A and B are shown apart, each in its own frame.
Chain A
Amino acid sequence: MNVKQHAEAAEEFIRDEARTDWHDETLWFVRDKRDIAVNKLPEWEILRDWASRIKDHTLSNLDHYLKSFEEKAVSNGIIVHWATDAEDHNRIIHKIIADNKIDKIVKSKSMLTEECHLNEYLQSKGIKILDSDLGEYIVQLREETPSHIVLPAIHLKRQDVSETFHEHLNTEKGNYDPQYLAGAARHHLRERFIEADLAITGVNFAIAESGSFVVCTNEGNADMGVHAANIHIACMGIEKLIPKTDHLGVFLRLLARSATGQPITTYSSHFNKPRPGQQMHMVIVDNGRSRQLGRPDFRNSLKCIRCAACFNTCPVYRKSGGHSYHSAVAGPIGSILNPNLDMKANSDLPFASTLCGSCSNVCPVKIDIHQQLWKWRQIIVANGNVEKGKKVGMQGMAWVLSNPQVYRISGKIGRWVMRTFPFMLSNRLNAWYKQREMPRAPEKSFRDWFIENK
């Protein structure tokens, strides 16, 4: 299947410049809210350091913590499953649904289930899942994918939502009021929560010492689903573990501030045991994470707590939109996680960046995102996942630039051509020239001047 690469998708996105500006400003607004929130804590940089080191330590002892978590969880009555990959994860969930003859299913936000394409898999088995997070509910109705891991419908304007709700929920045509629209969603989803037999959630943090897990939402949709349903399935990647309950103090203080600028989400639900009579399942998923763990340059990316602060600060993301990244997890973090899942399909992503470094600075767990982007580029090129033309061009450039004589002569000739035959570069074939004038080509290089004037 021919998936548009980032550059092409981005160009299409930017063609509607007014809408690009709106998208960019909306996400910058979230970055701004984050800045205001973090500046209220003088200890913010210390918190980041603690979180980073807690995660470093956890990854360095991950097998131990996974076993510890499982032991405790099982003793508390949670049924623990292990899935090596997406297919395994989907099959496990399908089996639980089929074994219990489940009909009505709700799901709160889980990027892991997006990564595993759970909805499509179950659909192919004739099973429908309802996404209950408002943003995900909207994109589900529109048969789109989320464009942001925290704000799934950030690419949509209220008019888009209004049209969709009018079509599917029979809301008033032309009523764009967010209050009205959210109210309609509340009304429709409430029934679905009440009648759901099974609820699927993600996991924000899993605590090794107690076998517990925490789910954070603002809407209350995760809780409305799981406390009503007879079966709760929680899905998590192996990297979601933290050693102790006390560590939640660090992570809960960092998460919402980084994500939306709130000091904490409305609900931080701590699950220890199923309620009496309820089945609670935990699916622990690898899907390439253990492989990433084995890459010294990239294992750091597993510290991610999915806050999307990197998305909000990234000018490339803001001005090209999440769909340009053709992945469940877009943005800067997606660009260092996705090549591990499929290098060929995602070889464009590490290049969708100017390496400005803003992402690394906002990351609450201090992932060196921009350094990893650079390192992925080396690997992708070494693996041959780059256009032949680019490779030849680079080889040519390397030869010229390592040879002082050749460099000087090429420079002189190049500048002469630019002055004498400007149309040779000032034309449609030159990507630079599309929207920018070429720099002036001086008669003398600095070296020439230096010889004459020193």
Chain B
Amino acid sequence: MKVGLFIPCYIDQFYPDVAIATYQLLKKLGCEVSYPMDQTCCGQPMANSGFSNLTKGCDVNFVKNFRGFEYIVAPSGSCVLHIKEHLKEGADPSDLQKIRESVYELSEFLVDILKVTRLEASFPHKVGMHVSCHGQRGLHLSSMSELVAPEFSKAEQLLNMVEGLELLKPVRVDECCGFGGAFCVFEEAVSVKMGKDRIKEHLVNDVEFITAGDTSCLMHLEGILNRQGSSVKTIHLAEILNKVL
């Protein structure tokens, strides 16, 4: 499988370990991974703030970097969702259609395309599962508590293949963490309150780590945990799946 690695801007800049883990994991699973060197940002921060009219530059650059790939994979549900729903400018409209159809979040790529059934991974720790909204409700990476429908979760399916890992879920299994993009600073009080409430539920389960498919959620929760002086760490799904003893 030829894969174009799509690394969200804030992961490239602040959480390179997530990108490294994603890259290594995909290679381990037999993919031929290319990393387009001039990628920047998908444009979501502007678009979600009402400035989708300013995303042309990002769109054009994205298309330039990723056209022609059979699969584009990113360790981020929200960025992938944004591309699928809002990528609109590029030199050639057929490029847009192809890209929207070829872009995958990491866990859905592993489960639906690579059809991974076992992983050589080990992470003997108590881990709290945080469900990132955009991936869940936008990409259907897992079932949604509001709907009357069978339960499933692509992330959990993969985490269950990791040796020694004890996955624990909070009572409100899919309540939003409160990051929400620019919301995290423009509605700071609500944002932090939401984050604190998520953490409280995980702490009840005595977890050592909190994991999710989106680094944006983890960055926000980590900021609060560190301010609280907590020993609980955040870790991205890709990092766990790539961990060997």
Complex CA gap A401/B60 in Å reads: 11
| Contact, CB under 8 Å: B13 / A397 | no
Cα A100 to Cα B226 with chains together (Å): 68
Q: Which of A38, A377, A449 contacts B148 (CB 8 A)?
A: A38
User: Do B187 and A395 touch (CB < 8 A)?
Assistant: no
Given A361-B147, A402-B60, A407-B40, A449 contacting B190 (CB threshold 8 A): no
A123 interfacial contact with B, CB 8 Å: no
B164 to chain A, nearest CB (A): 27
Q: Is the CB of A7 closer than 8 A to any CB of chain B?
A: yes
Is the CB–CB distance between A437 and B226 below 8 Å? yes
Count of A interface residues, CB-CB < 8 Å: 76
Question: Which residue in B58, B133, B144, B145 is a CB contact (below 8 Å) of A398?
Answer: B58
Does A44 contact B51, Cβ atoms closer than 8 Å? no
8-23 of chain B: CB within 8 A of chain A: 9, 11-16, 19-20, 23
Instruction: State in angstroms the CA–CA spacing of A7 and B136 once bound together.
Output: 26
Which of B146, B174, B181, B197: most chain A Cβ within 10 A?
Answer: B146
Whether A415 contacts B13 in the complex (CB less than 8 A), given A401-B58, A407-B41, comes out as: yes
State in angstroms the CA–CA spacing of A11 and B190 once bound together. Answer: 7
Known: A404-B40, A431-B185. A436 touches B224 (CB 8 A): yes
Shortest beta-carbon distance, B20 to chain A, in Å?
6
Q: Name the prevailing secondary structure of the B interface residues.
A: helix
Given A356-B176, A381-B50, A435-B192 contact (CB < 8 Å): yes
Given A41-B148, A352-B187, A358-B146, A411-B58 contact (CB < 8 Å): no
* B56 closest partner in A (C-beta): A402
- Best-buried of B13, B38, B46, B180 by chain A (most CB within 10 Å): B13
Which residues of B have CB within 8 Å of A432? 184-185, 188, 223
A-facing residues in B42-84 (Cβ within 8 Å): 43, 45-58, 60-61
Scoring A residues 36 to 80 as 1 if CB is less than 8 Å from chain B, else 0, what string do you get? 001101101100000000000000000000000000000000000
Known A407-B40, A439-B219, A446-B20: A319·B9 in contact at CB below 8 Å: no
A399 within 8 A of B: yes
Verify B14–A441 contact, CB threshold 8 A: yes
Instruction: Given the known inter-chain contacts A355-B180, A357-B133, please indicate yes or no for A435 contacting B224, CB distance below 8 A.
Output: yes
Q: Which residue of A lies closest to B49 (CB)?
A: A394
- List A contacts of B108 (CB < 8 A): none
Asked if A125 CB lies within 8 Å of chain B CBs, one says no
Residue ranges of B at the interface with A (Cβ–Cβ < 8 Å) = 7, 9, 11-16, 19-20, 23, 35, 37-41, 43, 45-58, 60-61, 133-134, 136-138, 144-149, 172, 174-176, 178-195, 197, 219-220, 222-224, 226-227
Could you tell me which A residues sit within 8 Å of B by CB distance?
6-7, 10-11, 14, 17, 20-21, 24, 28, 35, 38-39, 41-42, 44-45, 313, 315-316, 319-320, 351-358, 360-362, 370, 374, 377-382, 386, 390-391, 394-395, 397-399, 401-404, 407, 411, 414-415, 431-432, 434-442, 444-450, 454
Please give 8 more A-B residue pairs, beta carbons under 8 A apart, in addition to A401-B40, A411-B9, A436-B192. Answer: A10-B189, A320-B190, A353-B183, A357-B134, A381-B49, A402-B60, A442-B15, A445-B16
List 8 A-B pairs, minimum CB-CB distance, nearest first.
Answer: A402-B57, A354-B180, A436-B223, A381-B50, A377-B50, A357-B137, A361-B146, A446-B19
Contacts A/B (CB < 8 Å), 27 sampled: A10-B187, A10-B190, A11-B188, A42-B148, A313-B146, A352-B190, A356-B180, A374-B47, A377-B49, A380-B50, A381-B49, A394-B51, A397-B46, A401-B9, A401-B40, A401-B43, A402-B57, A402-B60, A402-B61, A403-B40, A407-B9, A411-B9, A431-B186, A435-B192, A439-B15, A442-B16, A449-B19
